[in-house]
Chains A and B, each alone.
Chain A
């Protein structure tokens, strides 16, 4: 027995000493190969740890059956660079981000966007930050016929179609498909990014549009003051009309504005800013239309003068308003609905009384309260979210 202790004790002691000598874990995380990262770092500010583009929507939106779909992380990273790359335009001065500026919720502050060589477009740039999350309900590739199409006139069914149409539009980026491919091939930073996204460096127009689509599908706004308050109502009341409760974190003006919104606007723009209630509508901007809108694509008289119904997320940041940017302020927009709706055969039923345009006749107090509420839809985090920021140095 003595021998057991003679041998055993030193052994146990040595083992304890060995454990004490263990160094801290030396874990190396990597995404890019070192030489690739060195190359990329000459042009781009990309984190060594790749950004996570998965999205978890707040509970009040998931309760409505809205979920963000998974996007391919590697393709979204490539898509982010493509989205901000001015080399993809004819004069190398315009990128997707030129008309979708992050600091104003990926919108443009001009009534109608300016493209290459300062060419003037015909419509206002849609705020990408007005959408809850593109992958939650946009695109027929993800959702079939119920997927919301892209553009004011809903002419693109998928995010890929949308970005290709923009890059080839003569008043936007004015590129041909082979020119886009060549422009991408010419930039040294794309080889490693394509390798990460696709396993090889082959550049095709399909890959380019798919990568941008993955990036765009990850964009969305769901962290506004309104969302934080709406999420608190989960589990506190009956399922329906939760949004009608006064939110404890809202000011009285914001709560009054919310009621006005729910009573007058939500039947088109969605009570919880989840998914628009209508794909498109005529909101009485003109008695005689100058832009056919959806009707110009479908050639159906019943669609003439109708345009996409957007959500109102970040609306306070995305002036000017309407498809042609005719209203410079939210006050002007509310004045339009208050007393300015024009008659039109296709006027949305919600905006008419019999055959006449409806007059909401908002009082000054109501207008002020409604604007206070609309400011609660601003998602400050989206505006500074590094995952969606310009990666170029």
Chain B
């Protein structure tokens, strides 16, 4: 219950001076109904101490199969300006979709690569690179001008490489050592998203949370919220979606 409450609440917490070694991208649940459906989304993203943007794209290349691509780019800076960081994640996935009237069920499996970079006073830095494999299930329901989606993503997160200046401080070195000792991590993420609009443009609000008991110890951001636009680009080569 608490999980769903967290997902539905606006993001109001603002912490100070944290450095992160993982932040979840939006768990994107496309609304795919038929072949050639294509969505492109851009989203402004915010988490505790960082913000950024992400792109999503899906294309249904057959009546049941679709491709998905995501890219995340976040940045953060401490209020005193002496610490900053950024993170990137790019991934691609192949999936299947099962439309049922106005309900779209999607399952994707994919892989991606990313990196987090944190810079501390005196120019000390910590850079971690990782691979992420995932499988996700999403469901999206359309009712008039409203689309509501929810999803679960199971991640296999493997930190493959790190360059760490010991001067980043004991606290961060401890987190990184914990990451090194425990990688890979398998954990779920949950999301809800709310879309308002009409074809081909939708306003999109989404929230994703990480479910891992040691997330704080590992220096992971446990929640992100995004606000953006979603464009059904197939609209431009297909004037009207045939009714099923």
Contacts and interface: CB of A to CB of B under 8 A. Distances in A.
Contacts of B128: 27
Contacts, number: 74
B161 A31 contact: no
B196 interface: no
Contact of A4 (B96, B156, B180): B96
**Top 8 A-B pairs, shortest CB-CB distance:** A27-B162, A31-B166, A27-B180, A22-B158, A29-B164, A25-B180, A25-B183, A25-B159
Contacts of B122: 74, 199
B109 A11 contact: yes
A353 interface: no
Contacts of A22: 131, 158, 160, 184
Interface stretch (A12-20, A100-108, A299-307, A368-376): A12-20
Interface stretch (A48-56, A79-87, A325-333): A48-56
13 contacts: A4-B65, A7-B65, A15-B111, A18-B133, A23-B160, A25-B180, A27-B162, A29-B166, A31-B165, A52-B170, A74-B122, A196-B167, A199-B122
Contacts of A188: none
Interface of B: 62, 64-65, 94, 96, 109, 111, 122-123, 128, 131, 133, 135, 156, 158-167, 170, 173, 176, 179-180, 183-184
A28 to B, nearest CB: 5
Given A3-B64, A22-B184, A74 B156 contact: no
A12 B111 CA distance: 11
Nearest to B163: A28
Contacts of B170: 52, 54
A26 interface: yes
Contact of B133 (A3, A7, A19, A29): A19
The number of chain A residues touching the other chain, given as a range, is: 20 to 34
Contact of A19 (B158, B167, B173, B179): B158
Contacts of A73: 167
Contact of A26 (B109, B131, B160): B160
Interface of A: 3-4, 7-8, 11-12, 15, 18-19, 22-23, 25-31, 49-50, 52, 54, 73-74, 196, 199
A116 B11 CA distance: 66
Given A22-B184, A27-B161, A15 B166 contact: no
B173 to A, nearest CB: 8
A15 B160 contact: no
A262 B165 CA distance: 48
Nearest to A74: B167
A25 B167 contact: no
A361 to B, nearest CB: 52
Contacts of A8: 96, 109
B109 A27 contact: no
A312 B65 CA distance: 78
A22 B186 CA distance: 14
Nearest to A50: B166
Given A8-B96, A18-B133, 5 more contacts: A15-B135, A27-B159, A27-B164, A28-B162, A50-B166
Given A3-B64, A15-B111, A18-B111, A25 B133 contact: no
A12 B135 contact: yes
Contacts of B156: 19
Contact of A11 (B94, B159, B165, B166): B94
